[in-house]
Amino acid sequence: MSVSGSKISKKRTLRPKRSLGHSEPKSVEHPLEGSSRVVLDTSAYAHLRVNHEGVIHRIARADVVFLPTIVMGELEAGFLLGTRTVENRMVLKEFLQEPFVSILPVTQDVALRYSEIFVSLRKAGTPIPINDVWIAAITVDAGAHLLTFDRDFEHIHGLSRTIFKI
């Protein structure tokens, strides 16, 4: 698989290279060990595009990589605001054609999880961006592990996640 020059082998675990200034995960609520299903948020996809070693390593260890429809919308908006819309769309299309990559939709069950997470955050006085609530709900519903650089996800209890340092 190639995403902007990234090579991800699904048959082997990538060996870590010398440190390129990328840090190990800042926060792991539930360890990724044994997790074969990962979800990328927009920040993780963007870092994959620039060959972030930690993101590449975790994707290489996963059996399935999910991209929520909410992330698709955020990416498309970013593509339209940028200067390389056609190139970005082609790279995303190539990524989505990988046999281990799937899109996760919003379903009725996801909507129920969204409402539970939203109310819990509101009651705790820790509201986060609405799209992040949707991404968390999709991830929990899929029984997957979220890869992100966004610390807002620290406020969501029960969400299996890795938050990388920028």
Q: Is the pLDDT of residue 122 over 60?
A: yes
CATH code, 120 = 3.40.50.1010
Both structure tokens of 156: 């969501």
In a domain, 8, yes or no: no
Q: On the CB side of 150, how many CA atoms lie within 13 Å of its CA?
A: 21
Q: On the CB side of 125, how many CA atoms lie within 13 Å of its CA?
A: 0
In a domain, 82, yes or no: yes
What's this model's pTM, rounded to 2 decimal places?
0.82
Average pLDDT of span 101-128: 97
Tell me the C-alpha to C-alpha distance, in Å, between residue 164 and each of 19, 50, 55, 125, 141. 14, 14, 9, 24, 22
For residue range 52-86, list pLDDT tens digits in order.
Answer: 999 999 999 999 999 999 999 999 999 999 999 99
Measured CA to CA, the distance from residue 145 to residue 162 in angstroms comes to 8
Amino acid identity of 65? V
pLDDT for 125: 96
Task: Please name the helix (run of DSSP H) or strand (run of DSSP E) that holds residue 104, with its range, or none.
Answer: strand 101-104
pLDDT for 93: 98
Say how many domains are in the chain: 1
Mean pLDDT is lowest, of 20-34, 85-99, 138-152, for: 20-34
Mention every residue, 6+ apart, whose C-beta is less than 8 A from residue 166: 149
CA 48, 76, 148 angle in degrees (round to 5)?
Answer: 35
Mention every residue, 6+ apart, whose C-beta is less than 8 A from residue 79: 85, 88, 89, 92
**Torsion of Cα atoms, 42 then 104 then 54 then 132, to 10°:** 40
* β-bridge mates for residue 102, sequence order: 66
Domain that holds residue 78: 25-164
- Please say whether the beta carbons of 134 and 106 come within 8 A: yes
pLDDT for 166: 82
For residue range 3-46, list pLDDT tens digits in order.
Answer: 655 556 554 333 222 233 333 444 444 445 556 999 999 999 99
In a domain, 133, yes or no: yes
In a domain, 18, yes or no: no
pLDDT for 6: 57
Q: Is the pLDDT of residue 106 over 80?
A: yes
Q: Is the pLDDT of residue 144 over 70?
A: yes
